[in-house]
Structure 1
Amino acid sequence: MDFLHNLQEDGMRLDGKKGSFLVQLFFYHYRILNNIFNFAVSIGAMNENPCKKIDKPKVEYEEAPVYSLEETIELLKCLDKESEVPHWQIAIKLAITAGLRRSELFGIDLKKHIDLDNGILHVRQALTYSKQKGLQFHEIKKGNRQARKRDIYLSKSLLKPIEKLIAIRNKEPLASNNYWDEERCLLLCDENGKPFNPSSLKNWWKRFLNRHNLTYIKIHSLRHTSASILINKGIDAKPIQERLGHSDIQTTINIYSHLYKETNQIVSEQLDDILQLNDVKNQ
């Protein structure tokens, strides 16, 4: 297990940056090794899993900056002024109203994953980019620990814009001189139907915020904004977990523990009011 401990030392990064690996990456390596050794034990190749002899690394989630409810409403108003770029407009609104990850936004196929009749988004694939492998689509499976496939009811405000964008996509192959990617009908694609690089959304996002003089937060923080608004309105953790696609409810509670503490205090005060305990306490 020296390998795992060495990962926490300064100078172990291959990218040349100072410091040790992030705790999340250390936990990722631990999980892979633990699964390998468990399998080895199950087939009789090993007598015991050496990972059982060390403490499981704990991932501490940092409190991410989010927009307040008022800031979110102002943001949505500004988005409505960006009708000339409906794909970016829809993507940002989906990040807020559906809590999608950036990779999931880029994986949306308008014809395969959106049911306009029932107003449902089927989250089934993600698009990622790396220097080694380029752009890659990944199927999101039910048992995936990082992201779960799920069905999300769309905001009714998005149904008409999505319908209009699909109509635009249907006309674009005629203007692409046979270069159109007929395999997919992506929400976020270029004039030939090819997927955008995921970094393109970040670039547009920064320009959009500057145009409207809005506070900068990362695209991923829109997902946290969505969750924080729901939690502050007293929504239970279970539907939030299912909506965000967390592998288990404890992940949701751990990430947003600071919000649940505040909510628990409010609930306690409200219960005192309901039971008229404040009157008793003050007598």
Structure 2
Amino acid sequence: MITGSIQPKNGKYYAVLNLYDHTGKRRPKWVSTGYTVKGNKKKAQEVLNELIRRYSAQLPPSKRGQPACTRTVDMTLLDFLQEWLSTRKPHIQPTTYHNYSKMIEGRVADCFGPQKTLLIELNYHQLDDFYNSIRKDGCCENSVVKYHAMLKMALDYAIRKEYIQINAADRAVEKPSRKNRYKPSYYSRDELNRMLQTVTDDVLYIPILLAAYYGLRRSEVLGVRWTSIDFEKKTIAIEHKVIDGSAAGQEGLLLMDEMKTKSSRRTLPLLPTPERILLEAKARQEEHRRVCRKGYNAKYLEYVCVDSLGNLLSPAFLSAHFSYLLKKHGLPHIRFHDLRHTCASLLVAEGVDMKRIQLWLGHSNFSTTADIYAHLDFASKRDTGAVIGNLLDKVKPEEKQCDMP
């Protein structure tokens, strides 16, 4: 239960709220009503009543009959977000944690830090202003989507903890929508074959081959190890990844067994061409190690994508050198990740159903695959057209209804 009173100070009325810390000690909060003392007592009282109502509405039902605790009432939005993020750290990818940290310590802190915005006082008007400030800075709508998603998730946690009762992100008028969804580029079968034939002697040949045949993500390509390949059972397991430490606020490369999603961990058939080329690469690596001796990096012996001295290829090098290769050989520009999309587009064009493509790519759900590639599903559209065509073509002329005069 929150109580309070109005008190004069320096010629103005202040609303004084009776708040208490977790020990039960009174911690009054003074809020200016904006009214001078002379002739404004009634208006100041109305401000106090509104503050009491607002603060009381945010208290969890179990605490409304008790003194209001400053632990939940006087917590700033930034302090709360740091608490929330610490609880999420064990459950999210290091890169996601790093991105959330930068978002909170950057734009969110710049907007809500100077005013020391309280969690309990946050409203949808403030969020609308925050979203619009991102847009005014020239950022795309997808940037706004990311901030909105993070804040909504955090405020949902605040409700579960009974810090607040209403999620302001749910009420934001300017709620963002992912309007500018990225449209991936694709290589045709001829373009892809031309690339594969052109780069056979390059250090990126194996990464390109794996991405093209299996639709692997960049981190998954670099994470392929010899122990993941069973040449007897003819399988290749996608169960490890390599990312730049800088993406997670760390130095060097991060070698991780934790995949992007549960579905990302998958076992695929070892196809004849990749098998032959991988066996050749394995023999070549062993020869390089024999020739270089101590000059060969023995730290990454189990990895497939290494250079001639045994150094593991980095994600940054892979992307930069891939662009260089395309320009050097006059090939259309695409991102390395677009090899994954190219793999999927070729499967779609050959009539492979979306569910099988989902499993091949390791998407966490069917809708992700369908959203990205449904517009390419020409085969199913032809089949659907054939069905409706056959049905209607069987209608006899005498069965057709004539137009009314």
TM class by shorter-chain length?
0.7 to 0.9
Shift of 1:75: 2.8
Q: Which amino acid aligns with 1:216?
A: H
The aligned runs of 1:54-69 (5 Å cut-off) are 54=171, 58-60=177-179, 61-68=181-188
Shift of 1:168: 1.9
Question: 1:197 corresponds to which residue?
Answer: 314
User: Using CA pairs below 8 Å that are at least 6 residues apart, which structure has the higher relative contact order?
Assistant: 1
Shift of 1:165: 0.8
Query: 1:259/1:58 Cα in 2 relative to 1: closer, same or farther (>3 Å)?
Result: farther
- Contact 2:152 2:170 survives alignment (8 Å): no
Tell me how large the CA RMSD over aligned residues is.
Answer: 3.4
Question: 1:115 corresponds to which residue?
Answer: 230
The aligned runs of 1:1-283 (5 Å cut-off) are 5=128, 8-11=131-134, 18-19=138-139, 22-23=143-144, 25-26=146-147, 29-30=150-151, 32-33=153-154, 36-37=157-158, 41=160, 46=163, 50=167, 53-54=170-171, 58-60=177-179, 61-68=181-188, 72-85=189-202, 87-109=203-225, 111-131=226-246, 132-134=249-251, 135-141=253-259, 144-145=260-261, 148-174=264-290, 175-177=292-294, 180-182=297-299, 184-260=301-377, 262-273=378-389, 275=390, 277-278=392-393, 280=395
List per-residue Cα deviations over 1:114-159 (Å, max 9, x = no partner): 2222222211122221544132123234xx4497211122332110
List per-residue Cα deviations over 1:233-262 (Å, max 9, x = no partner): 2221111111111111111112223224x5
Q: Structure 2: which 5+ runs fail to align?
A: 1-121, 401-405
1:235 alignment partner, SS class: coil
Q: Structure 1: which 5+ runs fail to align?
A: none
1:151 alignment partner, SS class: strand
Q: Which amino acid aligns with 2:143?
A: L
Larger fraction in helix: 2
Aligned mates of 2:261, 2:147 — CA distance in 1 = 16
TM-score scaled by structure 2? Answer: 0.56
2:275 alignment partner, SS class: helix
Aligned mates of 1:266, 1:23 — CA distance in 2 = 38
Q: Which has the larger radius of gyration?
A: 2
Query: 1:52/1:78 Cα in 2 relative to 1: closer, same or farther (>3 Å)?
Result: closer
Q: Which amino acid aligns with 1:203?
A: A
How many residue pairs match? The answer is 267
TM-score scaled by structure 1? Answer: 0.77
Shift of 1:162: 0.2
Query: 1:220/1:4 Cα in 2 relative to 1: closer, same or farther (>3 Å)?
Result: farther
Q: Which amino acid aligns with 1:75?
A: L
Aligned mates of 1:270, 1:161 — CA distance in 2 = 41
